[in-house]
Amino acid sequence: MTEQQARQEMVQLGASFFQRGYATGSAGNLSMLLEDGNLLATPTGSCLGELDPERLSKVTPQGEWISGDKPSKEIAFHRALYLNDENCKAVVHLHSHYLTALSCLEGLDAQNCIRPFTPYVVMRVGDVPVVPYYKPGDQRLAEDLSQLAGRYRAFLLANHGSVVVGKSLREAADNTEELEETARLIFTLGDRAIRYLSDDEVAELRSR
Ligand SMILES: [Zn+2]
């Protein structure tokens, strides 16, 4: 994919998230690894619904700002993932409604906050660990993600939102949507008794 195609894809996926209510205001940010080894990212304060391909931020993996508008502060934790996970080619971070609601619950399992009850999260994403709450911009967010990088494809940031990595921006976006829909199901099911997948059923999916 050329850099121009990458810029177009980021603008299109941002608009799609915004139009369908996955992102509101200037919340959320996207990034992807370019063929030249640098990162393309959404600028600070930008609305995902109104991205301009020529103004997207370009930074080195070490965080040096090369061109475009100033990158989001949250690019620090994106970089932690690229630097510590060789398969990470894109990152989607959203404050989407149901995943953020889930991130505010007490008593989540920090190793895996989504106990499987449909096959798709198991097949596409796997376990989703929870990163503790830190105030926006706190570098411990990046430090914690550095520790978890490479072992997981998605993370829930407590009282904040989701972070999903992918081999492409499209894959990270698709898996973010899968997680958001799963979180929505959790709230739809509410207090009802859920038939969770058994350990054997989960193991069978994981072995695929
Ligand atoms: Zn955020």
The rounded distance, in Å, linking the Cα atoms of 167 and 19 is: 24
Q: How many angstroms does the Cα of residue 198 sit away from the middle of ligand 1? A: 33
pLDDT score of 28:
94
Q: So what's the pLDDT on residue 136?
A: 86
Across the range 154-178, mean pLDDT stands at: 98
Catalytic-residue membership of 201: no
Handedness of CA 154, 32, 71, 5 (dihedral sign): negative
Considering the four listed CATH numbers 3.60.15.10, 3.30.450.20, 3.30.450.40, 3.40.225.10, the one that applies to the domain covering 3-206 is 3.40.225.10
Is the pLDDT at 61 greater than 90? The verdict is yes
Q: Going by C-beta distance under 8 Å and a sequence separation of 6 or more, which residues neighbour residue 86? A: 150
| Distance from the alpha carbon of residue 24 to the mean position of ligand 1, in angstroms | 12
| Distance of CA 2 from the midpoint of ligand 1 (Å) | 28
d(CA 55, CA 42): 9
In angstroms, what is the span from residue 191 Cα to ligand 1's centroid?
A: 29
Radius of gyration of the chain (CA): 17
Q: Cα of 97 to ligand 1 centre, how many Å?
A: 12
- Asked if 120 is an active-site residue, the reply is yes
Could you report the per-residue pLDDT of 34-45, keeping only the tens digit for each? Answer: 999 999 999 999
The Cβ-side half-sphere exposure at 64, using a 13 Å CA radius, reads 5
Residue 208 has pLDDT above 90, yes or no: no
- Of 104, 108, 146, 106, residue with least CA distance to 128: 108
> Which residue in the list 120, 143, 171, 181 is annotated as catalytic?
120
| Mean pLDDT value across residues 49-64 | 97
Ligand 1 centroid–CA 166 distance in Å is 18
Which residues, 6+ apart, have CB-to-CB distance to 145 below 8 Å?
77, 80, 81, 84, 131, 155, 163
Tell me which of 3, 35, 50, 74 is the catalytic residue. 74
The two tokens of residue 76 are 């620090």
